[in-house]
Every structure is written in structure tokens, then in C-alpha cells.
Structure 1
């Protein structure tokens, strides 16, 4: 039995879809489709992330093919993590966006901010990470209204190299979460930010108006649709 076969059995036993797993791990669904279709093999980090996120998966089955598939048979719920497995991360809810923009130049005092508890496995040693709350449905279906995401700052020396992902961008007095497809900061000195929802629209931002960029690396909480 191949690792792909074992993963299929694990996903079936958990009763969850590839989309749900990808959202939980902060990965692109195409990664798991490629693995299950035999076009790629899961990395060690992917296997460990699965075992950390879903502790009911039997590591003996996933790695060696030794039954049972799950440590607790016939369960499709995730075990709760303890406080020792989590970290308090600065949380910027929608209501704080305006204050965050106004205070950005002077720096934000973490002691004055709300915090959100995030699993250490999701943090993956990310530095200066914050949790952002999504407002509206311009980035649906991946990011819906009320979802909370982990974001890490991008150095201004690397802004022109960011593309293909979802980013939080602060420009002038605005703070938005959009996708960067074609980055033209290096050539034309502007950045076009795209909505995933066709009705969400796009916005073009000149380089001189950009104050900060954060890369969205993981969904840490999302309401049920």
C-alpha cells in the first residue's frame, strides 16, 4: 500500500475533505490533490503537520501501514489541544483596523492589543506574526467573513518579489486583504491587488503609497458556512 493509498484511507476515516484539510493546515488544496493522484509525495513536514493537527491519526498506519487507521476508531472529531500547545499572538480585529493604520508609523504596543491563541504547530517559528480578522467576502470561498488568519510581515526589500499568494496590504489609510497575481513594483512601480470573488473588484496601488505588507500563511479559525 502506497503512502497515497494510506492518506486516502485516513481522509475517509476522518470524514473530512481535502479542502477542509488544506484550510486547516494553511496549504493549497492542489498540493493534496497532486499527492493523492500520485504526482507528488508528501514531505516529512506535511506528514508531521497532519499528525499534529489530527492526533487521532495513527502514525503507525500513516508511516508503516500498520492498522488501525485511527487511534480512536470511528471518530471524526479533533482532540482539543492544551494550553501548552498554543501561543498568544497579537490579534487585529476589523474594529481595530483604523487604529492599527493610524498607529503603524509609531509602532504597536503588543501589551495594548488583544491576543488570539494559536497552536504552536501552525506558528512554525513565524516571527512577528499577527492574527487578522477577515471583513467581507471579497476573498471567498477561501477566506470568508469572520475568518481569522495568521499573517507575517514582509520586509520592504522583498515587496517586489511577492506574488501568487494572499496578502494584507496597508496603503495610505487603507488596510485590505487581497491576492497578488502579477507584481509590477519592480518594473512599473505599482501593485494590483485582486479579489478572489469576481464581485470583489481589484485595486491598483502605487509603490509610494504602500506602508506595509503581510503574507497570509494560515487560516487559524473560520466560521461554518
Structure 2
């Protein structure tokens, strides 16, 4: 079933008001809906249009949100709210600077990583404090190429956290940034045979990207991809 909104820009503005009324961050909303936060940032910034399915998912997950308001702009925004006694709630979002490894710096990062490399030498990227909650020593890296599309496209920025070398043998089923020999890649680990056969197979999500098996003694660094921070609209 398809539906046409009366005005895309007004729907985007109403979404902003809904998020403010709920009093939770965009990051938390994306987490609740199992979506990428970049999707909602792009909608609110006017770079993407909210789909009918997205609106319905918001209404299903937050039953206190008024469908009349989202579709037609009829207040109150939340069920049970008294528009005559409405007040603005400040929804301040705090930010933290996280070390950022851009594509142009990948080669230097690989060359110096095992030679006393300091994260303080990197530029930084501003992300919400909530996005880093519970993460140890996160950094931001930029995706180069489309071997991990459609989930991670060229130019996407992701937050990664280091995996202790003693835990490398236990990693599987997720997406990881890996340094081996002189390469810095982002791949998926489906089977981990470091303990039994002393190698790790790295897979591309894009069928055209292929896979590579890396001997244990060539691995230099491993980071788990925790969040997509931003992604270009395609």
C-alpha cells in the first residue's frame, strides 16, 4: 500500500518535532528501529525523503506519537499531551572528538601502526557522546570502494574498536577493519581458523569483491566495526 505525503519538507519538519517531543536522540531512535542513524540525519537535513514504511515503523514503535500529527500536522504531537500546556524541551546532544583515519591516510596508518603510532597524530571527527558509550578507544575510518556494499558504500564513515590480539581467535560473524602485510581493509569474518589452521578468511559482502585468506603471522591489527557514523545517499 502506497501513500503520498502532502509535503515532504513539512513531514521532515514534523519528524524533528516528534523526535524533540520524545526527548531521545536520533542515535537512540535509529537503534530502537534497527536502522542506521545516518538515514535519519539525512532525512532531517533534507538529503533524503522519509518513506511511508519508515513513518509506520516510527508509529508502531512509539505508540504515543500521533499519526494525525505526522501525516496531517494536527496536534498534539504525542497522545495525551495538552497543547494548551505545551512547553519546549531542550534535547541537547553532547559530542566528543574521535580520532579519524581518512582514506588518504590509510597507507601512512599501516606503515606506522606497529612503530609507536599515536592516535593523537590523527585528525578528529565529531560524534555524539552516546554513540561512543561503552566503547574502548574507538576510532573513525572511511570506507574506500564498494566491496562491502550495499551495507557499507564508498565514502561511508564507521566507528571501530580495537580487538586485543589474544581475542583474535574468537572473532567471527561480524565486520572488521584489518591490517595485514601492507593492506588496510574492511571485510567480514565468516569463519575463523586462526586456532586450528593458523589463517583467517576475510570476505566481501559484494559478490564481486571476493575473499582472501590471511596467515596468522601476517595479521597486524584488528578492529570490530561498531557503528555506521555517516554514509552518502545513493
TM-score (norm 2): 0.65
Q: CA separation of 1:67/1:131 partners in 2, compared to 1, >3 Å: closer, same or farther?
A: closer
- Which residue of structure 2 aligns with residue 195 of structure 1? 204
Matches within 5 A, 1:93-112: 93-112=102-121
1:124 to 122, 125, 133: 133
Within-5 A mapping of 1:107-186: 107-186=116-195
Larger Rg over CA atoms: 2
How far apart are residue 120 of structure 1 and its match? 1.4
Unpaired stretches in structure 2, ≥5 consecutive residues: 1-13, 16-28, 39-57, 74-90
| Counterpart Cα distance in 2 of 1:110 and 1:212 | 14
Deviation at 1:176, TM superposition (A): 0.4
Shift of 1:96: 0.6
Aligned residues: 170
Distance (whole Å) between structure 1 residues aligned to residue 153 and residue 232 of structure 2: 8
Q: Which residue does the alignment assign to 1:47?
A: none
State the Cα deviation string for residues 144-165 of structure 1 (Å, max 9, x = none).
Answer: 0000000000001100100000
Q: 1:68 aligns with which of 66, 90, 112?
A: 66
What secondary structure is seen at the aligned counterpart in 2 of 1:180? strand
| Match in the other structure for 1:40 | none
Q: Name the counterpart of 2:36.
A: 23
- SS of residue matched to 2:208: coil
- Structure 1's consecutive aligned runs of 4 or more residues displaced over 3 angstroms after TM superposition are 65-70, 72-75
Identify the residue that residue 91 of structure 1 maps to in structure 2: 100
Quote the Cα distance in structure 2 between the aligned partners of 1:190 and 1:210: 9
Partners of 2:30 and 2:97 lie apart in 1 by 29
Aligned 1:19-58 pairs, distance under 5 A: 21-24=34-37
CA offset at residue 112 of structure 1?
A: 2.0
Instruction: Report the equivalent of 1:78.
Output: none
Q: Which moved more, 1:119-128 or 1:197-206?
A: 119-128
Unaligned runs of 5+ residues in structure 1 are: 1-12, 26-56, 76-80
Aligned-residue Cα RMSD (Å) equals 3.0
2:30 touches 2:37 (CA, 8 Å); kept in 1?
no
Q: Which moved more, 1:118-127 or 1:148-157?
A: 118-127
- The CA deviation string for residues 68-88 of structure 1, in whole angstroms up to 9 with x for no partner, is 369x8558xxxxx85x51110
Looking at structure 2, the residues matched to 22 and 66 of structure 1 have their Cα atoms a distance apart, in angstroms, of 20
Separation of aligned partners in 1, 2:130 and 2:120:
24
Closer, same or farther: CA 69–126 of 1 in aligned 2, 3 Å = farther
1:91-119 deviations in Å (ceiling 9; x for gaps): 00111111001111123323321111111
Distance 2:30 2:184 in 1: 32
Q: Is the 8 A contact 2:201 2:211 kept in 1?
A: yes
